[in-house]
Structure 1
Amino acid sequence: VPWTSLPGLLRPSCHSFLDPFLGTFPLPADRPESPISSFTLGLSDMHDKVTAIWQQLTQRAAEPGAPGSALHAACRVQPSASLDPAQPRVSGLVLFRQPAPGAPLEAFFHLDGFPAERNGSRRAIHVHRFGDLSPGCEAAGPHYNPRAAPHPHHPGDFGNFAVRDGRVRKHRGGLAASLAGPHSIVGRAVVVHAGEDDLGRGGDPASLDHGNAGRRLACCVVGVCGPLPWARAAREHAERRKRRRDSDCQAA
């Protein structure tokens, strides 16, 4: 039985449950407390203790930084099934971490397969409404926009990512999306676009809808996972930063 169900199962409603039996076992006049009433009091006391334990556990789990409080999710990016052969085949992994429900979301974006072009080109990445990718990324529907806000103020408007040597390697924090609550992005699609997001400044209705980001090259569905993939990505990220600092120091 889940811990969250115990308080409801042990709620002291046994009086109504035992009412039909009270007439079957008449209580002696010289005994103010019967075995049945003792059982009722004991069960009520057990309910109070279990409720107190349950409240302590859930309160502790909700505290940021508490063991097991962080939420993790992964999204394995694959090329869209509807691409023609001339389009690049982008694949990779997007990892999410949220320290606690309501806390800002952070993510690692590791993508490969972009065309060999000048460094500094930028590609848009967004969260879309549906997790249906079977006919291609077009089936993911429009941007996930639960509050009917204009672009780029949707929860999953992650913006643009610089491509270097055909790859994206980026950590980004302070994201408005969430892995918990009524507007969770779990089960929805992350879409990698062929173009750059104009961030709502394009001067046309499409700009306020999807940022004129172009064709959908690749996509994936966000699913919950354990903390190990995030820990591995964080370690690799720290090692890359250290190598970059060391290289800059040698150059200086």
Structure 2
Amino acid sequence: MSKIEGIILGVGAKKNHGFHIHAEGSLDNDCAGAGGHFNPDQKTHGAPDAEVRHLGDLGNVHADLTGTVELRIQDSMVSLFADEEHSIIGKALVIHEGEDDLGLGGDEGSLATGNAGARAGCCIIKEVTHFRN
């Protein structure tokens, strides 16, 4: 089980935002360089707990009244170690402006991206070098 934790500041207040691991480790062109969702198994988009999903589908995160997200995600499919299968090290982590419909929107966009909208921000996932309890 991998844990992804952190704080995101300055996104749309009091709403859900799609949150995904993208295939490329690039922040170029306002996060467009990150490419599509990380999907090495070529599946359709889905919720983080769905049987069928992109590996990078992490669902939604919620921003409070100030536009702050307190991030605490556990995922059983991704790995935070560079030498393991399904490693996300070096990939981009993207927060979207809109809510992810988790592949349930009934259209092609839903099955591809969850209709989460434009990219609000991104960062590169770096290798784990130490742990804290």
Instruction: For residue 207 of structure 1, give the secondary structure of its aligned residue in structure 2.
Output: helix
Preserved contact between residue 144 and residue 156 of structure 1 (Cα < 8 Å): yes
Number of residue pairs aligned between Structure 1 and Structure 2: 124
More strand by share: 2
Name the structure 1 match of 2:59: 159
Q: CA deviation at 1:175?
A: 4.0
Matched, 1:145 2:39: yes
Name the structure 1 match of 2:7: 110
Q: 2 CA distance for matches of 1:114 and 1:134?
A: 19
- Higher alpha-carbon Rg: 1
Which range moved further: 122-131 or 164-173?
164-173
| TM-score (structure 2 length as normaliser) | 0.85
Q: CA deviation at 1:194?
A: 0.2
Q: Which runs of 5+ in 1 are unaligned?
A: 1-103, 235-252
Preserved contact between residue 193 and residue 214 of structure 1 (Cα < 8 Å): yes
% same residue: 37
| Counterpart amino acid of residue 137 in structure 1 | C
Instruction: For residue 214 of structure 1, give the secondary structure of its aligned residue in structure 2.
Output: coil
Distance change >3 Å, CA 206–CA 114, structure 1 → 2:
same
Preserved contact between residue 158 and residue 175 of structure 1 (Cα < 8 Å): no
Q: 1 CA distance for matches of 2:107 and 2:74?
A: 29
| Counterpart amino acid of residue 195 in structure 1 | G
Name the structure 2 match of 1:78: none
Q: CA deviation at 1:177?
A: 1.2
Q: Which runs of 5+ in 2 are unaligned?
A: 47-52
Matched, 1:194 2:97: yes
Q: 2 CA distance for matches of 1:146 and 1:200?
A: 17
Q: 2 CA distance for matches of 1:142 and 1:221?
A: 14
Preserved contact between residue 38 and residue 55 of structure 2 (Cα < 8 Å): yes
**Superposition RMSD in Å:** 1.6
Instruction: For residue 33 of structure 2, give the secondary structure of its aligned residue in structure 1.
Output: helix
Name the structure 2 match of 1:57: none
Distance change >3 Å, CA 170–CA 182, structure 1 → 2:
closer
More helix by share: 1
Q: CA deviation at 1:133?
A: 1.4
| Counterpart amino acid of residue 158 in structure 1 | L
- 1:225-244 correspondence runs (5 A): 225-227=128-130, 231=132
Instruction: For residue 108 of structure 2, give the secondary structure of its aligned residue in structure 1.
Output: coil
| Counterpart amino acid of residue 185 in structure 1 | I
| TM-score (structure 1 length as normaliser) | 0.46
Name the structure 1 match of 2:50: none
Preserved contact between residue 20 and residue 58 of structure 2 (Cα < 8 Å): yes
- 1:36-115 correspondence runs (5 A): 104-115=1-12
Name the structure 1 match of 2:49: none
| Counterpart amino acid of residue 134 in structure 1 | D
Q: 1 CA distance for matches of 2:86 and 2:75?
A: 16
Q: Residue 174 of structure 1: which of 75, 86, 106 is its match?
A: 75
Q: 1 CA distance for matches of 2:30 and 2:71?
A: 25
Q: Residue 133 of structure 1: which of 27, 35, 44 is its match?
A: 27
